[in-house]
């Protein structure tokens, strides 16, 4: 008689593959959405260096991956992660906007326009939303 029960390794493979596919989808969605925002802002006259494709894609990809990793770490190590994430995510998004506000106030990058800065701010929100959507699926918060 053969044992039909799946081994723990066999059960975790689909879970790991699903998580990987969700992360890749989230990163792709974040990269696409931020690129679209940059193109739209540029077409509306807000062309300056931070809206170029390389910085946009780099920060979208790295930012989304880091945000997802942070989410997973909080869920893993904090017993009641839901209330922590309800405060932490908006606080981190708000903190990520500080350089944009400084850029808007000082214009330290040549060619800075209010429209360009607003586009950058929206990109922060897009990256956070993408990371939260993925994080909730691969590591649901507790408590």
Determine, yes or no, domain membership for 5: no
How many angstroms separate the Cα of 130 from the Cα of each of 60, 99, 110?
10, 21, 30
Q: Are 81 and 143 in contact (CB under 8 A)?
A: yes
What region, left, alpha or beta, does residue 107 occupy, with left being phi > 0 and alpha being psi -120 to 50 degrees? Answer: left
Q: Is residue 81 part of a domain?
A: yes
Tokens describing residue 143 = 């408590």
Cβ partners under 8 Å of residue 82, min gap 6: 141, 142, 143
Structural domain total, the chain: 1
Residue 1 lies in a domain: no
| 2 part of a folded domain | no
Which structural domain range is residue 101 located in? 11-138
Nearest to 22 by CA among 62, 59, 77, 65: 65
Per-residue pLDDT tens listing for the chain (143 residues): 555 555 666 657 889 999 999 999 999 999 999 999 999 999 999 988 899 999 999 999 999 999 999 999 999 999 999 999 999 999 999 999 999 999 999 999 999 999 999 999 999 999 999 999 999 999 999 99
């Amino acid at each position: 008689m053969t044992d039909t029960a799946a081994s723990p390794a066999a059960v975790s493979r689909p879970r790991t593959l699903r998580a990987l596919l969700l992360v890749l989808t989230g990163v792709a969605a974040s990269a696409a959405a931020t690129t679209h925002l940059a193109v739209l802002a540029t077409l509306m006259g807000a062309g300056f260096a931070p809206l170029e494709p390389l910085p946009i894609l780099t920060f979208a990809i790295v930012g989304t991956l880091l945000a997802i990793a942070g989410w997973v770490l909080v869920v893993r190590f904090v017993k009641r992660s839901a209330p922590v994430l309800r405060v932490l995510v908006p606080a981190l998004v708000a903190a990520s906007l500080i350089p944009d506000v400084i850029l808007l106030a000082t214009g330290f990058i040549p060619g800075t326009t209010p429209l360009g800065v607003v586009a950058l701010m929206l990109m922060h929100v897009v990256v956070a939303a993408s990371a939260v959507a993925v994080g909730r699926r691969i590591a649901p918060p507790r408590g």
